[in-house]
Structure 1
Amino acid sequence: MTPDEQRELLLAQTADAAAEFHGVISLLCAALVHRWQIKALPTRPQITVGRNQRVDRDRAANVQIRRLDLPPRDVERGAVTSIERTVLDCTRSLSFDEGLCVADSALRSGMSKQRLLDLAAGAKGPGSRRIRWVAHHASPLAANPFESVLRALALSVGLRVQPQVRLGGDYYLGRPDLVDIELRIILEADSFESHGTPAALRRDASRYNEFVINGWLVLRFTWEQVMFQPEQVRRILLGAITERRTNRGAGGGSAA
């Protein structure tokens, strides 16, 4: 089954569960309804039911149910949490990297950065600090969850990375996936789809050589490393930070 087929099957199962248990599609399943990109599909349908809603535990064994009385403004079409409620729920309850994927995708889909910051500022209760952290770092410039997760890993070790920064003055070098201007470190999320042809190989070789001779440290990561080997990625990033600070110093960048 293809990833698209898996997603559509999960959405169908979630809609059925919401109808059966008189609930509302929520969390990552709601993000999928809103056509946002996420790090990974949840293993079960996710719905929210009222606190006093009776649910047969045996029939709901394969459904993730959250009990919460949602106000009408937080529900769209009577079936799914609203865009704003969904981004708040996901950034509150998920890990930083998963939440950042959702927030980045929400911004790519049209939510303004200021609206996200306003929602985060008004958040209360457990997880509010995480919401504000994600909102602060969220960006529509991340192309996909691969880049979002890599950015989350970089931020977690202290790098101050920004997506799609223009490098070079009069002589344009490029716009790498992620850049720490202070330490002059470039991070690239390299997928085979984008970099697996002879033409792409020639382009990448020329591009990365230009970065290096202009004083940038270029680190390239595969999808498998970022998604499934985060500790290895963190180790490499920490090593890069040490190398730049102890051996080369933190020279000023030529970003513009």
Structure 2
Amino acid sequence: MDLQVLYRQHKITGWVGNRKVTCAGRTVIPDIAFDALKLVVEVDGRKYHSKLEDFERDRQRANWFIADGWRVLQFTPQTIWHDPREVIELTQAALAAAAHQIGQ
């Protein structure tokens, strides 16, 4: 199961997947972005993130988002598959915190 499927199954809305976002003056493509609440969710698995430069780039990207006022959640594919409830609970908590912060 991928993250987009999981969010659809749990009726989590307000997100777009794999679309360009400008943050901290850079254009990046997060896995999921909740634009209105400035929340990004990334899926980081060993298949595409195992080399040192990949690890460094992922930290850099997260820092760009954070510096621009975004919240960042990061999950592994294993967590999505084996503990989807954790993914949903953390996503809902982050969405609620972001909405509260901006007064929605």
Segments of structure 1 that go 5 or more residues without pairing to the other structure are 1-38, 40-148, 252-256
Match of 1:224 in 2: 78
The alpha carbon displacement at 1:185 in A equals 1.0
Which residue, 26, 30, 35 being the options, matches 1:181?
Answer: 35
Q: TM-score, normalised by structure 1?
A: 0.37
* % same residue: 21
Q: In structure 1, what is the Cα distance between the partners aligned to 2:44 and 2:58?
A: 10
The alpha carbon displacement at 1:171 in A equals 2.4
Q: Which structure would you say has the larger RCO, counting Cα contacts within 8 Å and 6 or more residues apart?
A: 2
Q: In structure 1, what is the Cα distance between the partners aligned to 2:64 and 2:23?
A: 13
The alpha carbon displacement at 1:222 in A equals 0.7
The alpha carbon displacement at 1:169 in A equals 7.3
1:135-161 deviation line (CA, Å, top 9, x unaligned): xxxxxxxxxxxxxx2113234253321
Paired AA for residue 195 in structure 1: H
Q: Match of 2:21, SS?
A: coil
Which residue, 132, 140, 160 being the options, matches 2:14?
Answer: 160
The alpha carbon displacement at 1:196 in A equals 1.4
The alpha carbon displacement at 1:173 in A equals 3.3
Q: TM-score, normalised by structure 2?
A: 0.86
| Structure of greater Rg | 1
Instruction: Identify if the C-alpha distance between structure 1 residues 172 and 244 changes in structure 2 by more than 3 Å, giving closer, same or farther.
Output: same
RMSD, aligned CA: 2.1
Contact preservation (8 Å) 2:19, 2:30: yes
Segments of structure 2 that go 5 or more residues without pairing to the other structure are none
Which residue, 80, 84, 88 being the options, matches 1:234?
Answer: 88
Paired AA for residue 7 in structure 2: A
